[in-house]
Amino acid sequence: MSRVEIHGYAIVSDNDRIADAAGRTPDVLRNDADWAYFQAELNRSDVTVLGRLGHEANPNPRNRVRMILSSSSQGIEMRGDGWWWNPERLSWEEAIRRVLPHGGRVAVPGGRQVFDLFLGIGYDAFHLTRAEGVTVPDGIALFSECDEGKSAETVLSAVGLKPGPRQVLAAAAPVSLVIWQR
């Protein structure tokens, strides 16, 4: 198959949470500079792969190509709002060959089950933004292993990724970005 490059994107709190206990993104994890960075990255991508809840919660005004994970899919099928994929019925290799037959760049913005799944499939890069000084009690972890006391950094290191320099996206808070790469 032609080359497929997989990039993960998340903004997390100091305790590695992507959402609050109710599954919503709290305001403390919303940041204009991170949003602008994320949107520019999506513009460079050929497909956005996300969980059904994130798909339903986030409108798609630019009509970007989406691949939505759901147990309701029979394997991979095109619906009005994008490709619907069930990894239990069809492998990633087969699914992405349908969506990007000539290869391309894949953006993975979560949520947690999707981030977990791609740890096994293999990220080429993970763009980890941190809202420094922010704690989200009882929230949804970036990776399941973070619930067992492992930091996001430990999990990313364990799958062979290495951190680049810390970049400050917004000085006031601060909000910082580290890109982990193979």
Ligand X SMILES: NC(=O)c1ccc[n+]([C@@H]2O[C@H](COP(=O)([O-])OP(=O)(O)OC[C@H]3O[C@@H](n4cnc5c(N)ncnc54)[C@H](OP(=O)(O)O)[C@@H]3O)[C@@H](O)[C@H]2O)c1
Which residues here bind ligand X, judged by CB under 6 A?
Answer: 10-11, 18-19, 23-25, 29, 50-54, 57, 69-72, 86-88, 109-114, 117, 140
Other CB atoms within 10 Å distance of the CB of residue 182: 13
Residue 3 or 93: the one with the smaller Cβ distance to ligand X is 93
Q: How far is the CB of 69 from ligand X (least distance, A)?
A: 4
CB neighbours of 53 closer than 8 A, spacing ≥ 6? Answer: 23, 111
Of 145, 111, 117, the closest CA to residue 10 belongs to 111
The residue assigned the tokens 């590695």 is 16
Residue 4 or 84: the one with the smaller Cβ distance to ligand X is 84
Q: How far is the CB of 168 from ligand X (least distance, A)?
A: 18
Residue 2 or 72: the one with the smaller Cβ distance to ligand X is 72
- 82, 66 contact by CB (below 8 A): yes
Q: How far is the CB of 125 from ligand X (least distance, A)?
A: 15
Residue 4 or 38: the one with the smaller Cβ distance to ligand X is 38
- Scanning 1-111, the segments in alpha helix (DSSP H) are 32-44, 52-57, 92-99
